[in-house]
Structure 1
Amino acid sequence: MPNGRRVTRRAALATAVLLLCGLTLVLGYLNKARCAGAPFHPDGRSAVFDSAKDADVCYSDIQFLWLGRDIDNHVFPYLDGSITPDGALVGGVVEYPVLSGVLMWLGAIPAHTDADFLRWSALLLAPFALLTAWMLARMAGGAALLWAIGTPLVLYAFHNWELPVVCTAVAAVYVVTVPRWSLRTRGVVAAVLLGLGFCLKLYPGIFVLPLLAYVLTGGPGGRRDVRGALLTGAAAAGTVLLVNLPFALAGFDGWLASFAFQRLRQADITTNSLWYWGLRPLYPASSAGEENFQHTVSFASPVLILASFALALWLGWRRWQGSGVYPWVGVSGAMLCGFLLFHKVHSPQYTLWLVPFLVLLVVPWWLVGAYLVADVAIGVGVFRYFYALGTGEGVEPMENVVQFGVWGRAVLLAVFFVLFLRAEQREDRITSGPRATASPSRTPRPAPAAPR
């Protein structure tokens, strides 16, 4: 195709994806704004919030956290406050890493009610979703529509503060695809972005390990680069240190409390995990049974997560030995699947973390559709389930919907774990040039089959 036509089609595709993403974000905001608005209580809480958040499925953590974290008092986070022995946060502490806390503070500056806070936060977060859509369109072409117009963006765009962290993770992948820079430079810049992502919601930090392996092995047709891998790791660690150090020095107890809160959080009816729905029924319905259950989860969850990480990294290494290219994006996606599957908390909005991998990696679309159906069962069903528990009506049908979502996502995450490790990275056939070949010094062999 002539270069001029290629550029025109690329611009048209990116424009269409951006426009559609913008419309989806409007729908996402209107969905949550149904829970916000006059009349307000004296503390700025919308009177409709408590009555509608579950019944009308318009709950958002953004609106909920307007109260209880000193956000309504415009207190800069982490500088004071702490966590109590039973896991309750006090003072100006929020339960997220520092950059998310700063975004929360920024969104609250012009706000005087929870409706204001939701609106200003949405305006603050929306550009991250649009930038993510643009990068995905550049890398994967029309498949980016899964992000731009998919149900997850409607349900969760303004449910929590996920959009900035997803943007950093996608940006790291995008940077690695820039051909004009050396692989070492791309690795360092991507590591900085993943470090920033860690300071937003932690999970992009796990992608540093496969990125290190990719840089170490030299990428397509490259040579091993030990120094580049070390610089990449140092860039990620240095970014996390530089961002967190001022907060740790200014208010150590408040800074540490955000990490302690996540560590102390228990697997319960609000966490949507296989631990609560699969393992909890095996323990007695007593305080001793609950204590033993939580102890088991606290041990088994991190062990299985780490084991899934090690397995993904090892299988990625085996694929490199056969193909000559370490599949760092596929390994990163598999590691995320392991985390989502075995972590004791699986909040609905975490689906936004997974969607970019479903865009970037070639997996069957029917499986993607099945995952979205299971996700909607959680994103809608869990709140209707809470409403049913409160009213005592229709509890069993809604519990079945929630269990369908929990187990449907769990099974498909296990499937995606395997498929991501074997998948090719999707290419925008409008913009992509010839594929990079393996090093002439290495004769590519077929990638080993994944264990059955």
Structure 2
Amino acid sequence: MSDAPVARPTGSSRLGDTLAGRGHMTLILLVSLLTSCLTMLWSYQAKIKCGGPPFLAEGRSSHWPVGDPNAVVPCYSDLMFLWVGRDINNHVFPYISGGISPDGKLFGGVVEYPVLSGMFMWLGAIGAHTDTEFFQHSVWLLVPFGLAITVMLAFMTRWWVLLWSATPPLVLYAFHNWELPVVATVVGGIAVMAWGSTISPHTGERRLSVRTAAILAAILFAVGFCLKLYPGFFVLPLAAYVLTYGAVPGARKALDWAGAVWVAVAATLTVIAIQLPFMVLGFEGWKAALSFQGKRKSDVDTNSIWYWGLRHFTGGQTDTYNTLVGLLSPLLIVASFALAVYLGWRVYQRDGIYPWIGVCGSMLAGFMLFHKVHSPQYTLWILPFFVLLKVRWPVIAAYLVADFILDTTIFRLFGIYTSGSPMQWWVITGVNVGVWVHAVVLAYLLFAFVSAPLREPLASFGRRPRPTEPERVLTPS
């Protein structure tokens, strides 16, 4: 999003080019929505094989969790897994009456997710009596978010949206967990900033002021924080963008401190408004979800560099290992955030524009790299940044190939551990390849995202035409 001027056509040619642009955009939307529907349908068909009759106690399918052991795409889905053990199957309203036991087990309707994700699970369980019905209801809740993400990315990046709608991650993870709503808040926040920066044909000015657009985006990020936490981190680079917008590097008096504070306040008040009812009505249940995450160990099901790396140097999951992970993980996450913000500031000093979207992507890469939990479905978190930012295609390809290898081996690994069957060399190799290729790419993206240019037409939003220039070049359509 830039304020640099570009030329625009006038008269009858402008009308023809506008109609052609609309036709092009309609084609992009049709293709991207169709591919989104097909990939999500494929995802549904792959995951539903873990469900279906006959059902055991508490509505658990007898097919769970294996399904078809020969299927390329594993049928495992957290949506079905969560049906039992958190009172979702008993239709208990979440957080209000529950807690956590001394041995770390949740009870009374508490789930280990932020409150809005818990509410989605409760809604998905309404009218459901089996894990399969719960999965099907959840799918209907998730599909609109997947389509909304597609539409927003299409308007901002045109054909690059196919990186989202027509690649394996949407098949693998659309209905694996509650990722689509939180991704929608991130893409929505960026889309609000993008739309607000476009120039109104009636006034020749921005549709929304920078402050107004940023406050709306901050509210969406705060909603995302109440779904899966990570969008809340993006309020910091967004505030930095507002702070520096229109300012000359080095001129402190021109910095918009009031606007930056309003962004932070809007996000904070939104989080309080969402969290406060649960804190008042069931503080112990609300706190239990936080306590669960704090007590969670970095073991095989967290799938992080700590388990597959540090564990080998501490003699296994010893007290030393758990202490080091508990110390190093948050410290390195905070350090990566500080590095991302600093790198963004250097770009601002050089170019005069704070690259807040790139800094958001960099912060996310650092969080995913160093957090003690790295679930495969987090690929849906970072995928929109591959769409929005000009990242080298070998990097994207390496990440997506490694992700496919990881997904198709890690859930087989869980099955081998559970059953006590002999380990298959290709399974353990695939998991390690997926984990470590992801780690290397994320370390690279921690630096690369910040300086990566935006894709078109997102990069051209906000550019004002030069009225005195001859008509020659069209604004990207």
What band does the TM-score fall into relative to the shorter chain?
A: over 0.9
Residue aligning to 1:16: 31
TM-superposed deviation, 1:15: 2.0
Q: Distance in 2 between matches of 1:194 and 1:327?
A: 17
Amino acid paired to 1:400: T
Residue aligning to 2:411: 383
1:188 paired with 2:215, answer yes
1:198 paired with 2:215, answer no
TM-superposed deviation, 1:332: 0.3
Q: Distance in 1 between matches of 2:270 and 2:408?
A: 37
Aligned CA distance change for structure 1 residues 27 and 174 (closer, same or farther; 3 Å):
same
DSSP-derived class of the 2:58 partner: coil
Residue aligning to 1:273: 304
The correspondence for 2:105, drawn from 88, 101, 105, is: 88
TM-superposed deviation, 1:16: 1.5
1:316 paired with 2:347, answer no
Amino acid paired to 2:228: K
TM-superposed deviation, 1:134: 0.5
The correspondence for 2:94, drawn from 77, 98, 110, is: 77
Aligned CA distance change for structure 1 residues 221 and 170 (closer, same or farther; 3 Å):
farther
The correspondence for 1:125, drawn from 135, 139, 142, is: 142
Q: Distance in 2 between matches of 1:168 and 1:53?
A: 34
TM-superposed deviation, 1:50: 3.4
The correspondence for 2:454, drawn from 400, 405, 425, is: 425
Amino acid paired to 1:370: A
After superposition, the C-alpha distances for 1:177-218 in whole angstroms (9 at most, x for unaligned) are 123100000010000000000000000000000000001111
Q: Distance in 2 between matches of 1:219 and 1:338?
A: 29
DSSP-derived class of the 1:48 partner: coil
TM-score by length of 2: 0.88
Q: Distance in 2 between matches of 1:433 and 1:260?
A: 43
TM-score by length of 1: 0.92
Specify which structure has the bigger relative contact order, considering alpha-carbon pairs within 8 angstroms and separated by 6 or more residues. 2
Structure 2: runs of 5 or more not aligned = 1-13, 198-206, 466-477
Q: Distance in 2 between matches of 1:129 and 1:236?
A: 24
Q: Distance in 2 between matches of 1:147 and 1:219?
A: 33
Residue aligning to 1:208: 235
TM-superposed deviation, 1:54: 6.8
Aligned CA distance change for structure 1 residues 92 and 54 (closer, same or farther; 3 Å):
farther
Matches within 5 A, 1:342-421: 342-389=370-417, 390-421=419-450
Q: Distance in 2 between matches of 1:254 and 1:220?
A: 46
The correspondence for 2:153, drawn from 119, 128, 136, is: 136
CA RMSD across the alignment: 1.8
Residue aligning to 2:269: 238
After superposition, the C-alpha distances for 1:266-321 in whole angstroms (9 at most, x for unaligned) are 11111111101110011124xxx611100110000000000000000011011101
CA contact (8 A) 2:65 2:75 kept: no
CA contact (8 A) 1:388 1:398 kept: no
After superposition, the C-alpha distances for 1:250-271 in whole angstroms (9 at most, x for unaligned) are 0000001111111111111111
TM-superposed deviation, 1:53: 7.7
DSSP-derived class of the 1:270 partner: helix
The correspondence for 2:293, drawn from 262, 271, 280, is: 262
1:148 paired with 2:174, answer no
Amino acid paired to 2:257: V
DSSP-derived class of the 1:424 partner: coil
Aligned CA distance change for structure 1 residues 42 and 284 (closer, same or farther; 3 Å):
closer
CA contact (8 A) 2:298 2:322 kept: yes
1:306 paired with 2:321, answer no
Structure 1: runs of 5 or more not aligned = 438-452
How many residue pairs get aligned? The number is 433
